[in-house]
Each structure stands twice: as structure tokens, then as C-alpha cells.
Structure 1
Amino acid sequence: MIDSVKKYKWFIVASFVIVVGMLIFARNLVNETEVENEWTIPSEEEQDTEVHEETLVQEPDVKNLVDVKGAVENPGVYEVMLDERVIDVIEKAGGLKEGADETKINFAQRVTDEMVLYIPLIGEEGENMIVTAGAGSTSISTSQEAGKININTATSDDLQNLPGIGPSKAEAIIAYREDSGLFQTIDDLKLVTGIGDKTFEKLQNLIIVK
């Protein structure tokens, strides 16, 4: 019996070592799999969420502040988006009061940061002003000029808010002032090709030069 045990002694030891080695190998394999899982590439949904969060951080909403005064229901300072216009600000301020002089207001004018928008009453005179301050420059207009378009600085879109001015005439006005210099008086507008007396009559109370 003892001889038999001695005979198979090394076989038993070798078998034990092999089994232990296999267990150690299997354990290492499991650990490596867990590490790989920790470094798994995020799903498309997770990536989209991360990109969206980064976008929100990198691109915050940019707003302007406009001080609304005069004949509106709720005067005050209002936040407006970059593409909003005077009519949008007036709506935020509760709308016009009865007796507000709408002829002095360019409802289509784009608002700018730090703009002071004064809405006069019909027949009101004095030092009432619209003051627009931004980009390092200040533009001041009396109540008689409030809402009028400055043909020396107006963009094509601004000019197209005027009656009888379409894209082609707007570009002609811009081309004239670039080639011949700024308009000295509003009457100089008639020097632009396509602007006749009848068209000018519709515009003369809606435009200014500065």
C-alpha cells in the first residue's frame, strides 16, 4: 500500500499544482475583464448627453438690457434676446398707454444693449430722448427723431422697413453712400437711382441723417 502511495506521489503533486495554476489564471482573467468593462466606450446616448451639457456651458444665452420709459404700462428695465425689436420690448412693458404717440416709434427697430427707449405722448415736446449706447458709441435722438431711420448707418434690413423700399433700392442706397459719401440732408436721398419725388414724399418723415 505504501509503495502504491509512493508510486503516485509525484503524479498527485503535479495534478495539484496544475489545478492551483488554473484557478490563479481564471482569477486573473476575471480581473482583467472587469478592468476592461470599466474602460468601455460610452453609448451614443451618453455621449450625446455629455456633448449637450458641454454646449450648455459653452454657449449661454446672451441677452440685452433695455430701459423702457414714458407712455408704457410698466416702465422698467427688461431683458431681451439679441434678435428682438422695439415692439417686443413694448409688449414686455405691458403695451402702450392710451395717448402714446405711435408715429414717433419705429416698432421694427432692433434693440441694442443699454438702450433707453422713451415713448412720448401725443403732442409731447421737450428733451425726451431715445439713447442707444453700445459697442463704444452713443446715439441720441430727440423725441421728434425717435424711431426714424438714419439713412447713413441703416442696414439693408432697416431700410426695407421703409415704405416703397425693397431689397434693390436698399442696396442702391447703401452703394450710393459708399461711393459718394454720407448723405448731408435727407433730400440727398433723391440722388439715388430709383428714388423719385413720390417715393421721397413717403419717406421724408421717417428718415434722418446724422
Structure 2
Amino acid sequence: MLELLRKNIFLIVIVIVISIFLFFNNDDIEDKAPQSKSATTSTITEIPKDQIPDQPSTVIIDVKGEITKPGVYEIDSKSRVNDVIQLAGGFTEGADQTMVNLAQKVQDEMIIVIPKIGETSAAIQQNNGSGNDKVKINYATKAEIEGLNGIGPSKAQAIIQYREENGFFKSMDDLLMVSGIGEKTLENLKDDIQIP
């Protein structure tokens, strides 16, 4: 037994050294992880003030359709569509609530149209007084966006995702911030879309 131990002493020492090394290195990795996370956070928060767009404290929203008190409302700019609906007295019994994104952030000059149950999007546009054939990019469905020249399913999804995360597009140039939309694509879209 003693002879076997002498032959393997070198292996035992190596295993012990590696174990000690891994034990102490693991602690170093855990200690460094929060520091790198805070470094990333501080980088994100250090945006120059001149690059942050001015946000008004309140916005004006026009609520139409199947709502208890349709009209124009002034509300805090950090509000959601659900807050405006509540301010306007809530939905009527005939409102199709599935056609409204209640979690969407509000934006100045926004029009919220609450359709009747079974009403099509074409009927909503006619009630809205929109006589042109342009796609309202801030309200369009994925299928409507895909119908635009040069827009496939992935670009349409990127437009909707950007709109949901950042709010409505305020100008045509805002579309350039969407992944996959470049100057050439935007030029092709300008005659077919409407903002707001």
C-alpha cells in the first residue's frame, strides 16, 4: 500500500493543486461578474443629454368609436392606451377589445379607434375619415405592412416590434432606426405610407 502511494504521489499532488486553483479562480469569476455588469449599466446610462429627445410631460389623444365618452384627452406622456380608455369611461358593450393594444405607450396626436364587434379594419378607416390608400404605419397590422413594396415578413415584424418598444413613428426618418430598413427601402415606402 505504501509503495502504491509513493508511485502515485505525483498524481495526488497534481489533483490537489488543480482543485485549489479551480476553487480560488471560481471566486475570482464571481467577484468580477457584478463589476462588469455595473460597468455595462453605467455605460448605458451615460448618454449625453443633447442626444436625448425632449419628451413633453403631457400628450393629447383622440379617442373614437365604441367608448363611453369619446373625445380628446390630455394625459401624462408615460401613460398607456389602457389609461386613456379608463379616462374616457371605458369600453361600451359593443366594443371589440381584442382590436386594441391596451399596453401600448401613448404618443402625442395619437388616434385610438375602438371598433364594434365584427367591424373590419376597412370600416374603421372609413369611419376615421381616411380616404387615401396609404398604409398608416403606426396602426397597420403585420399583413398590411407586408403588402408594402420591399417589405417581407421579417421586416414587417421588425417594424411592429420597434413600434411596440419605442412608440409610434413621428417621421419617415424614424423608420431608418428599424433593423433592415435602409435609405433605399425608405425611399420606396414614402409614397405608400402615412405618418401619423
Give the alignment's TM-score, normalised by structure 1. Answer: 0.38
Structure with greater proportional strand content: 1
- Tell me which structure has the larger Cα radius of gyration: 1
Give the alignment's TM-score, normalised by structure 2. Answer: 0.40
